[in-house]
Structure 1
Amino acid sequence: MKATAGWALVTAIAPVAWGTNYYVTHQFLPSGYPLYGAAIRALPAGLLLLLLSRKRPHGTWWWKSLVLGILNMSAFFALVYLAAQLLPTTVASTIMATSPVVMMLLAWSLLAERPRVTYLAGAAVGIAGVCLMLLTGTTAVDGRGVLASVAAMLMSSLGYVLAKRWSHEVDVLSSTSWQLIAGGLVLMPFAIALEGPPPTLTTPAIAGFTYVTVVATAIAFASWFAGLRHLPAGTVGLLGLLNPVTGVLLGTTIAAEALTAQQLGGIALALLGIFLGQPAATRLATTARTRADRLLERKGAA
């Protein structure tokens, strides 16, 4: 139980870091360069982790790294970067919050991890909380941004489940570094061909990319894939709801505003959804059901 809780805390580092990424991208990184932005994010992070792991791909991991690199890194980063430029953070985060349901369905079909009732309940409660927390008014929505967010959510959900399926073959740092490097290398030719010369980086942009590369990419993805290795996909997916929670708390803190009652209610529901996805909630539900069955048996015997 302690080990499970420990891995949940490690995994939680990722969505908290990602929750800050939309703000940093929107405020500090150059707009109009989604491919360069994604490549600059992925390659340095992958090289940093490669320095730590000191292992090169071998065997089937040459093509597996490429597949995962495209799903989890190159296409995902580019789409998220584009969505952050086209959509308000609230809308982009709400779309990404549906990822736990997709991950559970994919894990059911690819990993034979049948979603538990508590996981499904957690997803429903958590998504409702995210909607309540974020969708607080009428906001102009760019259809291109919506498509980018949906595509990013679907591709990453598949990539995460495949990464879990293959996680027993190599260590976390190595597989994460290979994915990031493969994703960055795939992006570079497209960035050069479609976006021309790389953007000129100002001091704020350099600081922003440094944060995104080290914290929101290298550390975050290593933590996320470690969680996928040790926890059910449903549990990991629901921990991802910490992403929009972090975004809301960060936004109100920076704006020096107080959380509204609607936002507080949404955060509470999101956290309840996360809790329902933890193994401890399943154990509590099982214990309660067992006690109820025994009580009914005693009443029947009486």
Structure 2
Amino acid sequence: MKSARWAGVFFLLVTATGWALNWPAMKILLREWPPLFSRGVAGVTAAFLLAIVALCSGEPLRVPRQLMPRMLLAASTNVFAWMGFSTLSMKWLSVSEGALLVYTMPIWAMLLAWPVLSRRPSAEGFVSLALGLAGVVVLLGGQGFAFDAGKLVGILFALLAAVLFALGTVITRTPLPIAPITLVAWQVGLGCAPMIVLGLLIEHPHFAALNTAGWAVLIYMTLVPMGVCYLAWFATLRHLPPEVASIGMLLVPIMGIVAAALALGEPLGFREIAAMALTLSGVALALRRKRQGKEADA
């Protein structure tokens, strides 16, 4: 049992590290390619690779027709909104701003469960909301909230990513009865293909703009965050309880912000550290509340 737990911790660290490094990687790639197109190309390529892995693992790729509406909803909220809008926000926000805003998702899920599922937040839930909002205020208040239009657009996209992913989580309470790798391949493919179309129509990418660093980042985004990390996440869930794994994923914004400070020279001072402590404390409380709600339903 102890060896299985340590294996789970190892896979969790692999997942968190890969997803965390994707935040500064996106900032580098956005210097050369537009956000929707770059994320779409990486995602669709990763979906094909995951489909091959699923076949090699003996998983069927066919999805029953009656499950396709739920699959499309999950792809829209979990991939198109979550990945697409969070990547768009990086055009105007720093990694610390974007990551912390996006990772408030569990707080919004807790709040949306009130009107959708008639599950009123407890006093602890409202404390988590207060902590999360306090962290955001600390982070964004450094300039006295004197934002230009671009900054406001970035904040809007980051919050939309969090809120829409949270809404999808609340609406689709039961998991799709589809093998895990196949499920991710379909969701990523269906969610990222529209990004390529929109990118070609709106962003007009210059295909020859990528230099060596850009290609390296694109390959990393395809293979690691959308490939290796998803496989490691499934392995994590086989060895650790879901609530432990979810809390452990709070390492992602922390590691991403530190990596951006080291690689890109983004600020990492008392304000950023205080914002991380406040926001992620609120998220941790919301995750705890979510777990208690599931136990009550059971």
Give the TM-score of the pair, scaled to structure 2. 0.71
Cα 1:274–1:263 shift into 2, 3 Å: same
Q: Is the 8 A contact 2:135 2:275 kept in 1?
A: yes
Q: What is the identity percentage for the equivalent residue pairs of Structure 1 and Structure 2? A: 23
Q: Is the 8 A contact 2:96 2:272 kept in 1?
A: no
Q: Is the 8 A contact 1:245 1:267 kept in 2?
A: yes
- When Rg is computed on C-alpha atoms for both structures, the one with the higher figure is 1
Distance in structure 1 (CA, Å) of the matches to 2:83 and 2:273: 30
What amino acid is the match of 1:249?
A: V
3-state SS of the aligned residue for 1:167?
coil
Q: Indicate whether 1:210 and 2:222 are aligned.
A: no
Cα 1:167–1:257 shift into 2, 3 Å: closer
Greater CA drift, 113-122 or 42-51: 113-122
**Aligned mate of 2:86, from 80, 87, 91:** 80
Cα 1:99–1:43 shift into 2, 3 Å: same
**Aligned mate of 1:250, from 244, 251, 259:** 259
Q: After TM superposition, give the deviation of residue 204 of structure 1 in Å.
A: 0.9
Tell me the residue number matched to 2:160: 151
Tell me how many residue pairs correspond in the alignment: 278
Tell me the residue number matched to 1:36: 37
Q: Is the 8 A contact 1:70 1:186 kept in 2?
A: no
**Aligned mate of 1:186, from 179, 191, 194:** 194
Structure 1: gaps spanning 5 or more residues: 284-302
Distance in structure 2 (CA, Å) of the matches to 1:137 and 1:5: 43
Cα 1:158–1:134 shift into 2, 3 Å: same
Tell me the residue number matched to 1:46: 47
Q: After TM superposition, give the deviation of residue 26 of structure 1 in Å.
A: 1.5
Cα 1:251–1:156 shift into 2, 3 Å: same
Distance in structure 2 (CA, Å) of the matches to 1:176 and 1:22: 20
Greater CA drift, 269-278 or 84-93: 269-278
Task: Output one character per residue of 1:139-160: Cα deviation in whole Å (capped at 9) or x when no partner.
Answer: 7542322222222222222234
Tell me the residue number matched to 2:20: 19
3-state SS of the aligned residue for 1:38?
helix
Distance in structure 2 (CA, Å) of the matches to 1:133 and 1:4: 35
**Aligned mate of 1:56, from 54, 58, 61:** 61
Cα 1:53–1:117 shift into 2, 3 Å: farther
Q: Is the 8 A contact 1:83 1:149 kept in 2?
A: yes
Structure 2: gaps spanning 5 or more residues: 293-298
Cα 1:90–1:271 shift into 2, 3 Å: closer
Cα 1:260–1:89 shift into 2, 3 Å: closer
What amino acid is the match of 2:93?
A: L
Q: After TM superposition, give the deviation of residue 267 of structure 1 in Å.
A: 4.2
Distance in structure 2 (CA, Å) of the matches to 1:57 and 1:147: 36
Alignment of 1:66-215 (within 5 A): 66-107=72-113, 118=124, 121-129=127-135, 131-132=137-138, 136-137=142-143, 140-141=147-148, 142=150, 143-162=152-171, 165-167=173-175, 169-196=177-204, 199-200=207-208, 201-215=210-224
Tell me the residue number matched to 2:296: none
Distance in structure 1 (CA, Å) of the matches to 2:192 and 2:178: 20
Distance in structure 2 (CA, Å) of the matches to 1:74 and 1:35: 9
Distance in structure 2 (CA, Å) of the matches to 1:89 and 1:258: 10
What amino acid is the match of 1:217?
A: M
Distance in structure 2 (CA, Å) of the matches to 1:162 and 1:4: 31
3-state SS of the aligned residue for 2:44?
helix
What amino acid is the match of 1:246?
A: M
Greater CA drift, 168-177 or 140-149: 140-149
Tell me the residue number matched to 1:290: none
Task: Output one character per residue of 1:4-54: Cα deviation in whole Å (capped at 9) or x when no partner.
Answer: 998788567655544333321212344562331121121122122212222
Give the TM-score of the pair, scaled to structure 1. 0.70
Q: Is the 8 A contact 1:49 1:173 kept in 2?
A: yes
Cα 1:113–1:223 shift into 2, 3 Å: farther
